[in-house]
Amino acid sequence: MSTRTLRIAMNGITGRMGYRQHLLRSILPIRDQGGITLADGTKVQVEPILVGRRENALAEIAAEHNIAEYTTDLDAIVTDERTDIVFDASMTSLRPATLTKAMKAGKHIFTEKPTAETLDEAIELARLRAETGVTAGVVHDKLYLPGLVKLRRLVDEGFFGRILSLRGEFGYWVFEGEHQAAQRPSWNYRSEDGGGMTTDMFCHWNYVLEGILGSVKSVTAKTITHIPTRWDEKGAEYAATADDAAYGIFEIAGPGGEDIVAQINSSWAVRVYRDELVEFQVDGTHGSAVAGLNKCVAQQRAHTPKPVWNPDLPVTESFRDQWMEVPANGDLDNGFKAQWEEFLRDVLAGREHRYDLLSAARGVQLAEAGLASSAEGKRVELEQISL
């Protein structure tokens, strides 16, 4: 039996992330499974309230998914005394205002990344959380992906020996929108609307690097707009003012203080010749592993072949076949849902969530530093953020 219901005001629910990952893949499955069960056996149910600008779109989603409430009045629902949690997946540029209002009203918050476009704003949000004492969670979805869970397990088990480096490859071709519709929203390609690869992805890379290897000490990046003209949702041509690719080198302080070098290519102007849309290879003295969204393969030192460079001969070995798959050894649920459940338990226990606004601020810091590095053509060291 449910003894309590958490009312969650969900803003930006008509968008790609808000609708698919947070409503369809997280909150509705949690609701439909009867909520979450606490250690003492009590169940706590969740009730979404859809928030957005277009009443018709909200009404349609509400009817389709048996959701009782929706509203276009963001201010009123954020401050409504019956609202427990405010969730935001709207445009990045609108986020700080919504989160600030919610925390000042004493609401717990769960939000998409990045939390802000500038480091100052991101730190201000983290400060406000500390002052208000609410529980705040920021989406760190990549760390919940099966591939990265397996990779982290290899690190914990000491599989790699001394970790030397990480190489990441992220991206795919995003259509310009002229002949074939673009598969991402047009604001992603306008810097004046908070778009850009660096802003979008470096906040992910920060927590991925922290969560797998250690904290990021510096960044050297080249960001670029490969495709300067695109066509929007209405078919109108626009200038793509934001970077659509970022090539970064990150220096990491490993668990034992050792230097680890990470390189990550992020591009929306690249065609995929990989097994997954993102892949990370970690090399260590005793072993290496390659992790994607789902799969992770590894190769031990003892099983490492000894290729000899000879451009005159065809390849004699099938290198991909020399890796062994790392098993899941358990059910790994959708990452967004898994983090939501963890966050809801933290709210109910009145404690902080491990992936909070401070971690998010470090992500914004890395994005800002990456853009500065590229603009100034130099390596940028990251100062430790304190509140």
Ligand X SMILES: NC(=O)c1ccc[n+]([C@@H]2O[C@H](COP(=O)([O-])OP(=O)(O)OC[C@H]3O[C@@H](n4cnc5c(N)ncnc54)[C@H](O)[C@@H]3O)[C@@H](O)[C@H]2O)c1
Q: Where on the chain is the footprint of ligand X (CB under 6 A)? A: 12, 14-18, 52-53, 89-92, 94, 112-113, 139, 141, 185, 187, 200
Nearer to ligand X, 160 or 355 (CB): 355
Nearer to ligand X, 52 or 284 (CB): 52
Cβ atoms of 219 and 373 closer than 8 Å: yes
Tokens of 57: 């779109």
Minimum distance between the CB of residue 164 and ligand X, rounded to whole angstroms?
28
Minimum distance between the CB of residue 362 and ligand X, rounded to whole angstroms?
16
Task: Tell me the three state secondary structure of residue 354.
Answer: coil
Torsion angle of C-alpha atoms 364, 344, 80, 33, degrees rounded to 10? 130
Residue 269 DSSP code: B
Nearer to ligand X, 91 or 348 (CB): 91
Minimum distance between the CB of residue 42 and ligand X, rounded to whole angstroms?
31
Minimum distance between the CB of residue 346 and ligand X, rounded to whole angstroms?
19
Minimum distance between the CB of residue 360 and ligand X, rounded to whole angstroms?
11
Residue 244's Cβ-side half-sphere holds a number of Cα atoms within 13 Å equal to: 24
Minimum distance between the CB of residue 31 and ligand X, rounded to whole angstroms?
20
Minimum distance between the CB of residue 158 and ligand X, rounded to whole angstroms?
30
Question: b/e map of 86-103 (b: 16 or more CB within 10 Å)?
Answer: bbbbbbbeebbebbbbbb
The one-letter code for the residue type at 304 is T
Nearer to ligand X, 143 or 298 (CB): 143
Pairwise CA distance, residues 54 & 88, whole Å: 16
Pairwise CA distance, residues 269 & 278, whole Å: 14
CB within 8 Å of 107: residues ≥ 6 apart:
9, 78, 83, 84, 85, 86, 134
Nearer to ligand X, 53 or 379 (CB): 53
Residue 155 CA, chain-centre distance (Å), reads 21
Burial zone of 17 (CB within 10 Å; 0-12 exposed, 13-18 middle, 19+ buried): middle
Nearer to ligand X, 89 or 289 (CB): 89
Residue 333 DSSP code: -
Cβ atoms of 34 and 74 closer than 8 Å: no
Pairwise CA distance, residues 247 & 232, whole Å: 26
Nearer to ligand X, 159 or 207 (CB): 207
How far are the Cα atoms of 20, 21, 23, 360 from residue 208, in angstroms, in the given order? Answer: 22, 19, 24, 12
Nearer to ligand X, 15 or 254 (CB): 15
Minimum distance between the CB of residue 320 and ligand X, rounded to whole angstroms?
27
Q: Which residue is nearest to ligand X (CB)?
A: 15
Nearer to ligand X, 326 or 360 (CB): 360
Minimum distance between the CB of residue 79 and ligand X, rounded to whole angstroms?
18
Pairwise CA distance, residues 51 & 11, whole Å: 5
Nearer to ligand X, 65 or 286 (CB): 65
Cβ atoms of 328 and 150 closer than 8 Å: yes
Minimum distance between the CB of residue 91 and ligand X, rounded to whole angstroms?
4
The angle formed by the CA atoms of residues 250, 174 and 188, to the nearest 5 degrees, is 70
